[in-house]
Structure 1
Amino acid sequence: MKKAQIYIVLLLITTLSCKDKVSEKLKNIALVEPKTELITEINTLDNLEEQKKKEGDNKLDLTFSPIDSTQYFDYKKKYSNDVTIDSLIINKENSFFTLSIKNTEKKFSCGIDFNNCTYYKGYLNSLNKYVLTYCGVLYCGTSLLDKNTGIQNYLESPFDTECETPSLSKDKNKLISYSSSVFDKESFIGLYKKNTETQEIDFENYETFNTSDWRINEIIWVDDNFIALKIYDKYGGITGDKLMNVRYLKSKIE
């Protein structure tokens, strides 16, 4: 009888101890997740505030004039953005690809249904940088990842969508990035210039241009001081993927 009582007491103590351990684990899990989300949100807000400050201090003054499609495609034939695409790298869901970073192979993954996915967009030869886009649940962002140093430079955008593949000037001294809103007729242009001391593109200081007059399909460099744009209003047509009201513009980079 005494042995049975002792056994019951030990069983109760063990059960309570296990419950305490499980509760503690659940408590830790509950604490970790919100904390991670909070830090991400704060960092995002800080980045947005910093971006707004930079945009306010460094406005890009562009004056556009219309050009016809013949002029635009003539400019395009003479321009290359110096981006090479490795056809062996394929963006697939629930998979990954590897890139050589600092002489080491690094993995970039893509989840099921393309959630939390990194996309390979090419290699910018003159800058020795990979063009990558990362898409989370509610946003996408584009960055340039240096092959030799592993340093990642993010291309700014006021929208939740990624920037398109950037366009490098013919003299390699300026880099144009651009993006357009999915929801509204709005576009953003960022201009990055080479630092005269480091002789490298400065990603910390840049000039910005915003408009609510059109969306951007493509930007090319005419020469070292002029750019040309292919713009449109929205997608439409029977299949919904046709560019509506396409036109072409040209502007000098001051």
Structure 2
Amino acid sequence: MYNQLKSEFLKLKYSKLFIAVPILFLAGLILYGSFSLSAGGTQLFVSEGDEETNAAIQGIIGFFAFTFENIDTPKFSEIMQSCISCNVFLWIVTLILTIQFFCYDYSTGTIKLPVAYGIDRVKVYFAKTIVIVLYNAVCYFIFNTITLLFTCLQTGYLPDTTELAQYLSYVGLNFLVLVSFILLCLTICICLKNTGIIATVMCLFTLGGAVIYTGIWQDFHSHAILKYLVWLNPLYYWMNMGTFRLEYGLINEIIIYFIFSLLFLLPLSVILVRKQEFK
């Protein structure tokens, strides 16, 4: 397994993706910095609840960058909210890396080589998955560290150790959702293999789910079918994390979503890999 992991990492290291992904994250940082230039900050995918019509669903969801009540004395929760807002576009970078790296061997036919040499195709799949997750983890945590540093410098706020630990825990929860999103992408990749179709399906699913959720979230639990579709969507969790709606069981939902991806999506993808026929 170690040799296969090393092989997949070297494929990534010497591919254009190894440089392209950090460049895309850098573009994300520039975009995030541009949010600070907007008067009153930037709001994306925002929907406000009605406390009178549904006491269980109230408040507001969405992504808020540099929306401080008082810019001179910002709260750390507002700073975290601003940093976490980057999840609105980071999934796109993850989608590009996952699709391009995983599907490359299928498109060129080189996926047949390790199998021809007797390497289990499931082992190849796991090696690719681990490399994708680890590279995303490094880029994701570096990105979130830089955004926190930039926002604190921008506002002149000095967080203490407890606040940093809290921020790291929120970033960790968001990353669990990202891992689930990666496993969902990989499952679709195995089924379709065409990068253009996969990208279209995943973008429509992710953005469409966010639009649906903002439209129905005030009476979310009354939609028997749509709510399960939304629960599969990573933006559902990130939009709620964007306003720290933790009091409604969000942490448990994220953990359940992550466990679902490990116990259902991962075994499903393994079954699909075993049944693949290489042409």
Do these two structures clear the TM 0.5 threshold for a shared fold by scoring above it?
A: no
Which one scores higher on RCO, CA 8 angstroms, separation ≥ 6? 2
Structure with bigger gyration radius: 1
TM-score, length-scaled by structure 2:
0.23
TM-score, length-scaled by structure 1:
0.24
